[in-house]
Structure 1
Amino acid sequence: MTETAGASRNKKFPALIIVLITLLLAGFVLWRLDHAPRTDDAYIYADTVNVVPEVDGRIVELPVRDNDAVRQGDLLLRIDPRRYQDALNQALGRLDVLDKQIALTQRTVNAQQYNAASVSAGVERARAAANQATDTLRRTEPLLSQGYTSAEEVDRARTAQRAAQAELDAAMLQAQQAAAAVSGVDALVAQRAEVEAQIAIAKLNLEFTEVRAPFDGRVVSLRTTVGQFASALKPVFTLIDTRHWYVVANFRETELKNIHAGSPATVYLMSDTSRRFAGTVDSVGYGVLPDDGGVVLEGLPRVQRSINWVHVSQRFPVKIAVRNPDPALFRVGTSAVASLDQGGTRETVR
């Protein structure tokens, strides 16, 4: 009987060991999930821009092909510049004509001003003569009653005074006419400013006929060639910004409490699972569109009455900036796996 009890204990001991190991493994997994959340619901992301010409015209040069890598400042496409060069030449010609017209008109204005000054000097001479004739008449008239002068002398003085005053009035009218005849070049100067603005626009449009890469990137979605007419503000292809690569990882809402910007992360791509890339959390998403419920209708939220017995946690995107990515591996949309080290030192993301 004693042997039977010992054998029973010997059989229970391995089972206890297995249960204990299982519990330890389960505890480690839970601890690991809490301190190093991981998700395979992730993909590679990079910023993109649509390459659009800012002027209309036919494409005469397209030195890039689909999926080509380009450097900042490289020529992406060239629009036929002849129409815009002609517009610039026309505006420059108008400016030259206006400059000559302004110079010619200015000489005419100068002559008018000299004439007005000469007439003004004549007014001063007529005024001096009129003043002198008035003074002579004023001195002569009292002498007539005293017998020192004759009536004829007084009449001549009066006639001279009236004539001098008439000449003064005539000179003043001539001065007003001469002043009114003086023109200016203000209107032509205003036209010149308008033509200068047209020249600036023409130069800008001519510059816009060349579309160059704003940053290092890769050409995608190119579906055209030389000879195609390009419309302003309509995309020709897309340019991926290959300077900065990110992994957008969707984590469960229950895992977000300890995820912060600057948290260290490790990612790898499904296209090559043997390589690991370090990164840091750039930002955590603050909004997603719910699949059901919470829809605002006429100002009020509509919540479905049905209750799911199994509640699936919502996932929120976490944007991870990758350090030293491999340009040969990273492609927008590539599946990835991301894990966060919440026990690591937080870094400042710049």
Structure 2
Amino acid sequence: MNTPQNTVGSSDKHKLSRRKRNLTLVTLFFIVVALATAMVYFLVWQHEEKTDDAYVAGHLVQITPQVAGTVRKVLVDDTDIVKRGDVLVSLDDSDFQLAYDRAQNELIQAIRQNKQQTAVSSQAKAQVLMRKADLAKAQADLRRRESLADTDAVSGEELSHARAAVVQAQAALKAVEAEETSAQAALGKNVPLRRQPAVQTAVSRIKDAWLNLQRTQIRAPMAGQVAKRNVQVGQRIAPGAQMMAVVPMHNLWVDANFKEVQLRKMRIGQPVEMTADLYGSRVVYRGKVMGLSAGTGSAFSLLPPQNATGNWIKVVQRVPVRISLDPQQVRAYPLRVGLSMSVKVDTSDTGGKTMAEAGDRSAVVAETDIVDWAAADALIEQIFEKYAK
């Protein structure tokens, strides 16, 4: 029969063995966790660089007028989404419309003057032919009288008059030939109507007036979001004045601020995963490292930072790294300039260029619309058809 003392001893041994077992399990657990952490670090974490100091960026297209004028309408406001070609601001076009009308009248007048000069040239040619005929007749009369001079059939006075008639006919011919040359010089030798300098000048003035008239309608050069509007109705603006900006939504990137020590293994072209606070972890954007931006946090400081005693101190500098965004993902999950992002760069592939080297020119080159002269050309053709016949 067990005594109470033996019972207590076996109970203590049981508790001690349980404690040892628990300590062994906990130790093994921490060892496994440490090994797993070490494996994850050596296999994954040492090949990753992360930062939460990242923001969506984009080009800022300034909207400026090309002609001076008074603002008649402002059709958009900040945060509005516009399409390429949408009218943003309308200027008063009264003066430009008058200039356009005057240019049309100048072309009509140039065509009419050309027709008058053509008629003068034709008349001068006819006069030359007539004077040549008169000269030929006078010369024939003179030869006939000179052949009869020895027969007393023609008096000396009559012969003198015949010679004077030839000289007079020659002088008249030279005069009309000079008029013909002047008329041809005014028209140009075999130059068609549309290539006449006066006509081309008038055509250029029509196009110039038409272009200025079109520029009173200030349109969006590309699709995007309106920002920084600072123009009001009735305001008098000059060419080049900043009225607002359009931020394109299709050409965005991320500026991620990394510590300098994080750039050691970072290379241009390395893959990047990003998440936006707007969508959370359910949307993962993918991109590539494009390069290192030219400016840093202390780019405008010419001297190293100092402490209160005037001694130079070393600070942890962050530099912006530009990261591309997949356009298809941006279309599916739109972003806006200024949104914060979390960035993770996979640095396992170190075969690309270092961050100190320049990146490739992979950005999309955008351009504004080429001027469509169809309307102006159609008007010019109508004027020629009506007045050049």
Range class of TM-score, shorter chain = 0.7 to 0.9
Cα–Cα, structure 1 residues 294 and 331, in superposed 2: closer, same or farther, change >3 Å?
A: closer
Superposition map of 1:1-350 within 5 A? 18=30, 21-22=33-34, 24-26=36-38, 28-29=40-41, 31-134=43-146, 152=152, 156=154, 163-182=161-180, 183-184=182-183, 185-186=186-187, 189-253=196-260, 254-255=262-263, 257-261=265-269, 263-281=270-288, 283-285=290-292, 287-288=294-295, 291=298, 312=316, 315-322=319-326, 323-325=328-330, 330-342=335-347
SS of the equivalent of 1:181 reads helix
Give, in angstroms, the shift of residue 16 of structure 1. 7.7
Q: Report SS of the residue matched to 1:37.
A: strand
Q: Does the 8 Å contact 1:242/1:327 carry over to 2?
A: no
- Larger relative contact order (C-alpha < 8 A, sep ≥ 6)? 1
- Measure, in 2, the Cα distance between the counterparts of 1:194 and 1:10: 100
How far residue 85 of structure 1 moved from its aligned partner, in angstroms, is 0.7
Q: Normalising by structure 1, what TM-score?
A: 0.75
Question: Could you list the per-position Cα deviations for residues 283-329 of structure 1 after superposition, in whole angstroms to 9, with x for gaps in the alignment?
Answer: 21264458489979xxxxx9x9x886x67466341222244227886
Counterpart contact for 2:296–2:318, Cα < 8 Å: no
> Shift of the alpha carbon at 1:241?
0.4
- Is 1:39–1:337's contact at 8 Å kept on the other side of the alignment? yes
Q: Which runs of 5+ in 2 are unaligned?
A: 1-12, 352-359, 365-389
Whole-Å separation in 2 of the counterparts to 1:169 and 1:314? 100
Secondary structure of the 2:272 match is strand
User: What is the RMSD of the two structures over their aligned residues, measured on CA atoms?
Assistant: 4.0
Kept after mapping to 2: 8 A contact 1:266/1:338: yes
Letter in 2 for 1:171: A
CA distance in 1, matches of 2:91, 2:100: 16
What is the letter of the counterpart of residue 205 of structure 1? N
Q: Do the aligned partners of residues 132 and 314 (structure 1) sit closer, same or farther apart at CA in structure 2, a change above 3 Å counting?
A: farther
Residues 11/266 of structure 1: CA separation in 2 closer, same or farther (3 Å cut):
closer
Aligned equivalents of 1:30 and 1:313: distance in 2? Answer: 26
Aligned to 1:144: none
Aligned length, in residue pairs = 321
The superposition leaves residues 251-292 of structure 1 with CA deviations (integer Å, 9 ceiling, x where unpaired) of: 34553645333x432211234434333222262126445848
Q: What amino acid sits opposite 2:178 in the alignment?
A: A
SS across alignment from 1:325: helix
Q: Percent identity?
A: 21
